[in-house]
Structure 1
């Protein structure tokens, strides 16, 4: 599933067309990605509106059109956005298409249909957007807030807790592994057992990994450097960049974790 930086990459693709007006919309409303939309005026109500701005929170996107139209995208497992300058080009799995002036076209593809499209009309921010916690890179994400969340999940493995979107929006499997590797904490350590010093290291790693991911991946989907865990975690036999020993891959609460026992010594 796309994580924080990958979703930001997809936001920037559509953001290229900010300021343009919608001249036509096509949505295959029988597809399950539209299951959250009950407003029968969608998608035609977007025609004629101006694409004002785009935002991201965690793994979700929000696009503001006209005076009071809000379009949301959750990428699911295989969702992606496209910005096309050829209105005649054909794209598979293009279940939502916005045709803009000057031949621009915005496309949402989702081959496996695990994503979700949201739509609301109103002056106020819709619940499906305002209910998402603030960014982990924002001033609102403090050490105290993180510690309080860990204590509410004190008996759960820290790897599982980092994947909880209500506490750590945007974090997915690879980012959680990267965060724990950089903070030298084993993924099986219980959230409530982590000492003060390690909590500070964890907090610092969360912010650093988020910023590094946005800098490297969101800006053109570039390959991370080899001194990250990222390039070594995807298959058996990967080597830890710190110890040069084989990484361990194991299931923790049903999710595959990759870690370095000789480096992540806090357990």
Structure 2
């Protein structure tokens, strides 16, 4: 892997028109402070803080790695009719960019992020990309991203789960940590548990499910099981089964002759075997 020193010396600062930039990676979600950021840029009349990117030969444009929010704000402000400097200050890495350098740029999104801190599920996406596409081990990804291997394992585990769970995490309806715990404890029933916890949260006026809502769902589920058990018909006791078998045995008697002196009785061997099994 490229060292930080090698990577950071292979770049230069450029003023690039916002229309000559693109976004290729999609690890970041929409920022909650977008309107505040737009107001800051509008007041300054331009973007002050540098973005990071590299030249993409396929599109002929600068692919933005860090600073997507600033780029998006400038595009929206221009579309709204505001007078904004369309030139973005971008630190551009040398091209063609190598897979090793691209992986290092992904790491920089987390470790040298000069914008709003990444959310856990966003870090999980980057960790998964490093492992799946760039040959990192879980331990290597953890070391580079400044997390423990256990934490990285937890963050990426959510992306092997059903899409409904991933969407719940990405929509910030439940934390990735709590979702991972539910997956670990409830396995195939995790998706249903998470969905019900989210409904529980919304019914109580909350946007995000917490441990409190999960606990409420568990308690209600356990209570329903208890009621179902109490109201379900109880199986007959051993004595009752034996009594019924004896009655069946007596009813199955077959007399082979009407002569009392020569009377023999034919009985069901199957019934006798069942009675014997109960007595033993």
> Is the structural similarity TM-score above 0.5?
no
Normalised by the size of structure 1, how large is the TM-score? 0.31
Q: Which has the higher contact order (CA 8 A, sep 6+)?
A: 1
| Higher helix fraction (1 or 2) | 2
| Higher strand fraction (1 or 2) | 1
Normalised by the size of structure 2, how large is the TM-score? 0.30
